[in-house]
Chains A and B, each alone.
Chain A
Amino acid sequence: MTWLAISLIVIGLVFLVIGSIGILRLPDVFSRAHALSLTDSLGAIFVLLGLAVYEGFTINFLRIIVVLILVYLLNPVISHATIRAAYRSGLRPSKKENK
């Protein structure tokens, strides 16, 4: 059970690292938001699932599941608000052609 928890958390951390690399490498705010949504949707879920498995069926398990649902409901709203603010203040995506 502990090994399942560890492997879930490590998978989550891999996605968190890839998301961070993406934030550094991608050119503008719009593309960086894609890397951010990668971190949110898979990094967070695997780390939280790993913690839930590690915890077993206690009150903390319930708390982690509630946080998981809240993450999935709130993250798209926050990314959308950020991107819409960038768009309305006049930023446009940079055109990087496919090489």
Chain B
Amino acid sequence: MRIFAAIALFVLWLVLSASYNLIHITIGAIIASMISWFTPAGPLHVRRISWLAVLGYVPWLFGRILKSSFHVSRLILHPGLPIAPELIHHKTQLTSDGELVVLGNSITLTPGTITVEVAPGELVVHTIDKSSCKDLVNGLYDAKVSHLFLAKGDQ
């Protein structure tokens, strides 16, 4: 498994690198193998994902990012700075590592909400005002993320 990670990292290096002489390619190979060697092969249980759902999820998330970016821009530029920051404890029925990673990163990517702490079944989320966390509290994010992963029996 580590050798695949090393090859993938080396290809990434080759794509991003602008100079293809011996010294740069050697440095890339050394760094790729070191990263894959020192990364612990942890017990990360990732369930199978449905790529069709991912195709729908990415544009949806980008639309959310656009919408809440305009909202946060308006808050910042507003003379009265009408923010109401608070920490909310969000209960979720998602428990697997993969689901929590996607949910937490989606929340953080959307301006106006940031994941502070993650535990199976519960997230601590900081939100800049009431309307930013509306869709999180009513469970829209949870529903969208749970559709990305195939049911437990399918793995």
Contact = CB atoms under 8 A, between A and B. Distances in A.
Partners in one complex: yes
Interface of A: 15, 18-19, 21-22, 25-26, 28, 30-31, 33-35, 37-38, 41-42, 62-63, 66-67, 72-73, 75-77, 79-80, 83-84, 87, 92-99
B120 to A, nearest CB: 16
Q: Which 8 A-B pairs have the closest CB atoms?
A: A76-B108, A22-B76, A76-B105, A98-B84, A38-B111, A30-B126, A42-B69, A93-B85
22 contacts: A22-B72, A26-B81, A33-B114, A34-B72, A34-B112, A34-B128, A37-B111, A38-B69, A38-B73, A41-B65, A41-B69, A41-B110, A63-B16, A72-B109, A79-B108, A80-B116, A84-B117, A93-B86, A95-B85, A97-B84, A98-B82, A98-B83
A41 B111 contact: yes
Contacts of A83: 114-116, 126
Given A18-B76, A75-B109, 11 more contacts: A31-B83, A34-B128, A37-B109, A41-B69, A42-B66, A63-B16, A73-B105, A76-B109, A80-B116, A87-B117, A98-B84
Interface of B: 12, 15-16, 65-66, 69, 72-73, 76-77, 80-87, 104-106, 108-117, 124, 126, 128-129
Given A18-B73, A87-B117, A31 B104 contact: no
Contacts of A38: 69, 72-73, 76, 111
A76 B111 CA distance: 10
Contacts of A28: 85
A97 B84 CA distance: 6
Contacts of B129: 98
Contacts of A97: 84
B128 A87 contact: no
A88 B123 CA distance: 14
B73 A96 contact: no
A68 B15 CA distance: 13
